[in-house]
Amino acid sequence: MRTLITNGTIVTADGSFAADVLVDGETIAAIGAGLAGMVQSDETIDATGRYVIPGGIDVHTHMELPFGGTFAKDTFETGTRAAAFGGTTSIVDFAVQSKGQALRTGLDAWHAKAEGNAVLDYGFHMIMSDVNDDSLAEMDQLVTEGVPDFKLFTAYPGVFYSDDAAIFRAMQQTTKNGGLILMHAENGPAIDVVAAQLVAEGKTDPYYHGIARFPVFEGEATNRVIRLAEAAGAPVYIVHLSVIDALTAVREARDRGTQAFAETCPQYLFLSLDDLGGGFNGAKFICSPPLRDKDPNWEQLWTGLRKNDLQVVSTDHCPFDFHGQKEMGRGDFRKIPNGLPGVEDRVDLLHDGGVVAGRISRERWVEIVSTEPAKLFGMYPKKGAIAVGSDADLVVYDPDRVRTISATTHHMDVDYSCYEGRAIQGGSDIVMSRGSVVVRNGVFTGRKGHGRFIRRAPADYARLA
Ligand code: DUC
Ligand code: ZN
Ligand code: ZN
């Protein structure tokens, strides 16, 4: 099957230009002006007035994550299908090692959830909840199996939490096996003290989830784990960075030459502590780190994205229904499952609030939603690029289309949207995964089981820093 995409503007991280793209089978076979008259194809897609971009890559999702006695609702089928509607063509999800389990047990469970179900290609990071001699040795094996990054937490004592010794040992291990430690950096023990005090005072509404998790608790933990990485001689990647205190720690580390990387998420660029107010409805907005004050955080995060102190925007997609799941925490915000839906809206939100709003260029938009995630997570140039030989994960993107986000029309398996009623400019017309059209003008044309495991290699972090 050969498909020719004609008359579009190719937008990559490096620049924009008018050219046609020939897809042959699963990969890009040719790029050039006037290909239409020169090559044979089975289908021609006219991209006049539209961009042709590499498909989005969301490197932070939690399909079916067990959390607080329930599970994140999207499966690999529903979650990747929703992602496709939003112009994302690959995800990297977090497999979970529970306490007392081997890494292998958690990884096998995640392969079983995804295989035969995902409609898009997917990779895995490994959450480590139990660092010990055995799990440290297992890390080396996982790197060889295409799972080269490991997430540890300074939050959630008793569940995912690792102490400094465990974090340091895991970092030392990556200096030997070439992998990367991803850190959820919030001071969990201190947060738990404040949260208990608030509840004892009768402050049980969702809003107090945001109050309990002081910005300094994220700043302190971010600085601490970066310092530990420096001591170990390891690169480190801070996930879901939400606040200026943490951004400052990353920026200062990068300025002194540390291989420190960080992502933020749309919720920290477009939502705020105000959304957590309004009584129990605020439960819809509970995630960790929490939503923050709009000022000065939003503009500081955008500046961080422009200046490359932040390299990636991912979603931390972790959807729980308001009815029946978020409601488990009525009367105690600590019992509300943490997480927001977002995998479908990331590319469009960043186009509207970033490119259309004049905060970033369209090339930087492509870079932070696709190319840089591919580079940092060992998928480039197979993914994240428009180049001969790359996977034909392509989106024909209409930069002018306006739509309104709503739970009544989204495709994520969750009963609300954090962006309900928000009008945004920009949308994906055609979404292609390895040469197959999976979404065409709002209609799903993909196939459950089309998605394949992406076997990833460690990246050259020194070069990317
Ligand atoms: N934060 C969330 O909001 N959900 C899942 C896990 C996490 O760290
Ligand atoms: Zn996290
Ligand atoms: Zn997460």
Q: Tell me if 209 CB under 6 Å of ligand 1.
A: no
For ligand 1, atom 7: residue with the closest CA: 288
Atom of ligand 1 nearest to the CA of 337: 4
pLDDT in tens, 176-234: 999 999 999 999 999 999 999 999 999 999 999 999 999 999 999 999 999 999 999 99
How are beta strands 121-127 and 149-153 bridged, if at all? parallel
238 pLDDT band (50/70/90 cuts)? very high
Q: Tell me if 390 CB under 6 Å of ligand 1.
A: no
pLDDT in tens, 250-276: 999 999 999 999 999 999 999 999 999
Atom of ligand 1 nearest to the CA of 239: 8
pLDDT in tens, 83-107: 999 999 999 999 999 999 999 999 9
So what's the pLDDT on residue 380? Answer: 98
36 pLDDT band (50/70/90 cuts)? confident
So what's the pLDDT on residue 37? Answer: 86
How are beta strands 20-24 and 66-67 bridged, if at all? unpaired
> What's 442's DSSP letter?
T
**What is the Cβ-side half-sphere exposure of residue 123, based on CA atoms within 13 angstroms?**
27
Ligand nearest to the CA of 288: 1
Using the mean position of ligand 1's atoms as its centre, give its distance from the Cα of residue 317 in Å.
8
Task: List the beta bridge partners of residue 184.
Answer: 153
| DSSP alpha helix (H) spans, 307-361 | 346-350
Mean pLDDT for the stretch of residues 120-145: 98
Atom of ligand 1 nearest to the CA of 287: 3
pLDDT in tens, 64-80: 999 999 999 999 999 99
Best probe residue, ligand 1, of 61, 63, 64, 67 (max atoms within 8 Å of C-beta): 67
Ligand nearest to the CA of 61: 3
Q: Is the pTM of this model over 0.75?
A: yes
Edge to edge, the sheet with strand 312-313 lists 56-61, 88-96, 121-127, 149-153, 180-184, 236-238, 260-264, 312-313
Q: Tell me if 339 CB under 6 Å of ligand 1.
A: yes
So what's the pLDDT on residue 280? Answer: 98
**Dihedral Cα 49, 54, 58, 59, nearest 10 deg:** -160
Q: Please list all protein residues whose beta carbon sits less than 5 angstroms from ligand 3, which is an ion.
A: 316
